[in-house]
Amino acid sequence: MRNLTILVFLIFLAGCTNFKWKQEEEIPRQEVISLDSEQVDLMKEYEKGTYGYDAGFLKKYAEPVELKNGDSRLMLSLKYQGRVMTSTSNGMGGKSYGWINHDLIESGEVLKQFNPVGGEERFWLGPEGGQFSLFFEPKSSFKLENWNTPACLDTEPFDVFLATDSIAVFLKSMQVKNYSDFQFDFKLTRRVELMGKGQIETKLGITLPGNVKTVGYESINELQNIGQEAWKKETGLLSVWLLGMFPSSPSLTMIFPYKANVKSDYIVKDDYFGKIPDDRLEVDDGMIYFKGDGQQRGKIGIPPRRAEPVFGSYDSENNVLTLVKCDIPDDQADYVNSSWEEHQKNPYEGDVINAYNDGPSESGEQWGSYYELESSSPALALDPNESAEYKQSIFHFEGKEEELDAVCRQVFNVPLNEIKSVFGARPSL
């Protein structure tokens, strides 16, 4: 009865496009409908790398909320800002698709600049660099030692509003200040919904082969300006920035289709952390490929005029195809610029899609072997009490190569053999 009541309320909430919070209300932290309270030690029952192991680990350390539909399961964390920590398409014994920093979480250590706990979709805000940066204090120099993640995006927990088997809603009041000393006061509603097979097919416009295992979910992130001042270009704007960390592998290639028939200053920005070598990044006619082996740091960005809304990765070693679908408006929207410059000439000519491959730092240290797929909303110019939302969906497909090839051809019009051969893998189909 409780789940039915909550579900009815969620449907009502989803239909109320003008739903707003009262600014003076303090929303209490709600009871979490979480993992089954079985006595089994999941970390002993399942191997590391499985969803069951990570479910047990997160239950111990991360205040998890689980969404489930048959073998499709999804784990979120209140402690870590309502982020999606991991998911699976094959039940407790299936692969865990999100990268999780087990060592850091288990240690309980809180790092000063950024806590890379992992997770396959986290909520952040942009821009990262420039005169409107949220990651550098006013008047500080743009050096790595001065870079800090705002606490509300890194160490402060979110509140859960409601949760059912398929939907979780998180709320958080936030306050951030940019490099130009402008303060943003806003409230976030973050809603994550686990999809069924039919919803996945509809969302991507595909037909799934019968034996492919899949999990998919959508996040809807709404910001409401609850401050007294309008957000204007002159003082800086915010963007919703969604980042996903996934386990890398020697055979993993990231895939980014782009519009080849338009003009822009660049097709792909490839020098965020130094120029990416040609043997790790390839730009073909209409397609960008980026190596995701977790062996060398590098970041790319794709501008909105070039970007296509669906991108992803293929891991031929583990037979996993991952797709991300983001909102890209048809009009020429402004995007915040995250380049690390103290004063940007064009602060609203940023990228809509980014990707990162991790690797050892100059000192040889490395958090773990992972890669990131990222997307951003347009810059948000909001008047007091005005709201805007940004949606992103993530999908994982697992199965035989010929079955995943059928999915890849429908989405990208490219065979998996072509993707595998980009960085030297031997075709097998």
> pLDDT at position 17, please?
41
Q: Is residue 320 part of a domain?
A: yes
Q: Which two tokens stand for residue 284?
A: 């073909």
Cβ atoms within 10 Å of 60's Cβ, excluding its own: 13
Q: Is residue 111 part of a domain?
A: yes
Q: Which two tokens stand for residue 298?
A: 């590098």
For 226-349, list the strands marked E by DSSP: 239-247, 252-257, 281-284, 287-291, 298-302, 310-315, 320-326
Note down pLDDT in tens along the chain; length 429 residues: 434 434 444 444 544 444 334 333 444 444 444 455 456 789 999 999 999 999 999 999 999 999 999 999 999 999 999 999 999 999 999 999 999 999 999 999 999 999 999 999 999 999 999 999 999 999 999 998 999 999 999 999 998 889 999 999 999 999 999 999 999 999 999 999 999 999 999 999 999 998 999 999 999 999 999 999 999 999 999 999 999 999 999 999 999 999 999 999 999 999 988 899 999 999 999 999 999 999 999 999 999 999 999 999 999 999 999 999 999 998 778 999 999 999 999 999 999 999 999 998 777 777 789 999 999 999 999 999 999 999 999 999 999 999 999 999 999 999 999 999 999 755 555
Q: Is residue 426 part of a domain?
A: no
- Domain count across the chain: 1
> pLDDT at position 21, please?
40
- Give the number of C-alpha atoms closer than 13 A to the C-alpha of residue 414, restricted to the C-beta side: 21
CA distance 18 to 389: 12
Q: Is residue 427 part of a domain?
A: no
Q: Is residue 310 part of a domain?
A: yes
Amino acid at site 205: G
Q: Is residue 153 part of a domain?
A: yes
Q: Is residue 428 part of a domain?
A: no
- pLDDT for 89-135, tens place per residue? 999 999 999 999 999 999 999 999 999 999 999 999 999 999 999 99
> pLDDT at position 39, please?
63
Amino acid at site 196: G
Tell me, yes or no, if the pTM score tops 0.95.
no
What is the dihedral sign for C-alpha 332, 334, 340, 345? positive
Q: Which CATH number characterizes residue 221's domain?
A: 2.70.98.10
Q: Is residue 287 part of a domain?
A: yes
- pLDDT for 162-192, tens place per residue? 999 999 999 999 999 999 999 999 999 999 9
- Give the number of C-alpha atoms closer than 13 A to the C-alpha of residue 303, restricted to the C-beta side: 19
Residues 6+ apart with CB under 8 A from 18: none
CA distance 35 to 65: 7
Q: Which residues of 29-55 are buried (b: 16+ CB within 10 A; e: fewer)?
A: eeeebbbeeeeeebbeebeeebbbbbb
18 burial type by CB count under 10 A (0-12 exposed, 13-18 middle, 19+ buried): exposed
Q: Which domain holds residue 279?
A: 2-421
